[in-house]
Every structure is written in C-alpha cells, then in structure tokens.
C-alpha cells in the first residue's frame, strides 16, 4: 500500500479560507494525527519501506508480498519540512516527497513552499524526492508538447538541484491518461503514482500506482476497506473500471 499526504500542519495555522483553496487543504493533517496514523499502521503489522524499494520489488516479482507500506507527501509545502519531517525522523521512517519545480527556476520563492536548501537537506538525510511537473498543471488539459516539457523539465530541474537521479513521479491532481503515462515512462522515470485508491499494485500498474488517503485514527469505513486485502481484492473490479476509464480519457491537448 502507498499512502498519500499533502499538508502536515497544526490546525491553528490553517484559516477557514484556505480550506476552500486549491492547495489540498482538505487533506491537511495535524502532526500528532500524522504520528498517530503511522503508529496505527505499525500496530496493525504494516512494515514501512521506501517507495523506491517497493517499486523494485514489484519490478522483480510482479507484485507485493507481506504488508509493506510506503509514505508519499505531495507538493513540497513548507509544513512538510517543518512538521512532517521531524515525525518521520523521530520514528525512523522513509518517505518520498513529490515536488513541483517552478519556484526553483524563476528566482522567486513561495514562502509556503520548501526552499532549495531545505529540499537538498532532506535528500542528504536519506529522503527521496520525486517529480511533480514544473507548474503543478493538469497534464491532460494542455498540449502534449507542453506536457512533455513539464515532465522532462521537472526531472532535469530536480536532478540538477540534488545532483542525483530522480526516478519517481506523481501526477498533479492524479490527472493522467495513456498518452501522459507513456510520456512519463519515456522521460526516464521508472514508476508514477496516481491518486486512485483501493488498487492492487503490480508490474502492469507501474505508471499508475494506486495510493490511498487514510484518516488519523484508521477507524472509518474507508480505512477499514483500504487496510483489508480481502476488501481490496473484492473491490478490484470497480477500481479497474475506473482505471480503464482514466487511461482512455484521450490525449493531452
């Protein structure tokens, strides 16, 4: 299972207006809630692994065995550095941060996003960084030529910044189709994450890996379904129907 997060931030720092913005505030989680969720997964027998290691296991064996779980955090918000990172370091857990690169290229800095120095620090400390385009755009709604530039340019930006290969990608807003997935593969990424939940990740889904969003206490119906392999198998036909519909949604542009 791959778990997706966005903002990890104390509730007092989020204004009501932000909850209606397009910055994924509805998915915000408090730092104590984040830690509670991670402990809850450990208590249920899940074993945390890096996304890179999970992808390698799928590549070799075709699917996952045991109860591995990978942490992914999208968008490169400053609160990821200030609040999520200390929890991960305290618990000794790996994570992958998917980052859009526009702010590192134009000389300006969004005060709500991580700086280049902070991103390099996290990478030096062993946390993985993945591509998330340059401008966090919906890749299915722009011309294919521009989509390819967003994908390839982001990879090059991050590799120049970190001095290391960047091999993992996440689609902004989960928007992709067969053409975009092929463009990500052709850019040199070895896997890409969607936002489709309740999937079963195998070698055939390497460029639309299923991710799940969980609640802090892991006690809602959706949580129980996501944590149950039997439920995931039972719901797989519905998830596959959603995937086929998204893959066939047309070329970008």
pLDDT in tens, the chain (253 residues): 999 999 999 986 655 444 444 455 667 899 999 999 999 999 999 999 999 999 999 999 988 888 999 999 999 999 999 999 999 999 999 999 999 999 888 777 788 899 999 999 999 999 999 999 999 999 999 999 999 999 999 999 999 999 999 999 999 999 999 999 999 999 999 999 999 999 999 999 999 999 999 999 999 999 999 999 899 989 888 888 888 888 888 655 4
All structural domains of the chain, each given as residue ranges with its CATH number in brackets, are 2-247 (3.20.20.370)
pTM of the model: 0.93
Residue among 239, 41, 20, 110 nearest 49 (CA): 41
Q: For residues 209 and 32, is the Cβ–Cβ distance under 8 A?
A: no
Q: Is the dihedral of CA 173, 178, 184, 189 positive or negative?
A: positive
Sheet strands (E) in 132-201: 168-170, 191-193
């Amino acid at each position: 299972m791959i778990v997706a997060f966005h903002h990890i931030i104390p509730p007092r720092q989020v204004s009501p207006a932000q909850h209606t913005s397009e910055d994924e505030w509805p998915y915000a989680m408090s730092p104590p809630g984040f830690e509670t969720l991670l402990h809850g997964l450990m208590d249920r027998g899940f074993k945390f692994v890096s996304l890179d290691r999970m992808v390698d296991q799928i590549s070799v064996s075709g699917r996952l065995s045991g109860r591995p779980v990978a942490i992914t955090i999208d968008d490169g918000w400053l609160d990821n550095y200030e609040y999520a990172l200390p929890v991960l370091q305290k618990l000794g857990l790996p994570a992958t941060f998917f980052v859009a690169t526009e702010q590192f290229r134009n000389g300006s800095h969004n005060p709500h996003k991580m700086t280049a120095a902070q991103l390099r620090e996290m990478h030096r400390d062993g946390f993985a960084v993945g591509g998330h385009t340059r401008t966090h755009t919906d890749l299915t709604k722009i011309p294919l030529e521009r989509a390819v530039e967003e994908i390839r340019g982001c990879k090059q930006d991050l590799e120049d910044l970190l001095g290391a290969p960047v091999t993992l990608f996440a689609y902004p807003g989960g928007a992709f189709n067969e053409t975009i997935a092929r463009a990500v593969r052709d850019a040199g990424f070895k896997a890409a994450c969607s936002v489709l939940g309740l999937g079963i990740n195998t070698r055939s889904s390497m460029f639309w890996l299923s991710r799940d969003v969980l609640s802090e206490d892991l006690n809602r119906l959706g949580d129980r379904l996501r944590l149950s392999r039997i439920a995931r198998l039972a719901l797989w036909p519905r998830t596959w129907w959603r995937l086929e519909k998204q893959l066939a949604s047309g070329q970008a542009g």
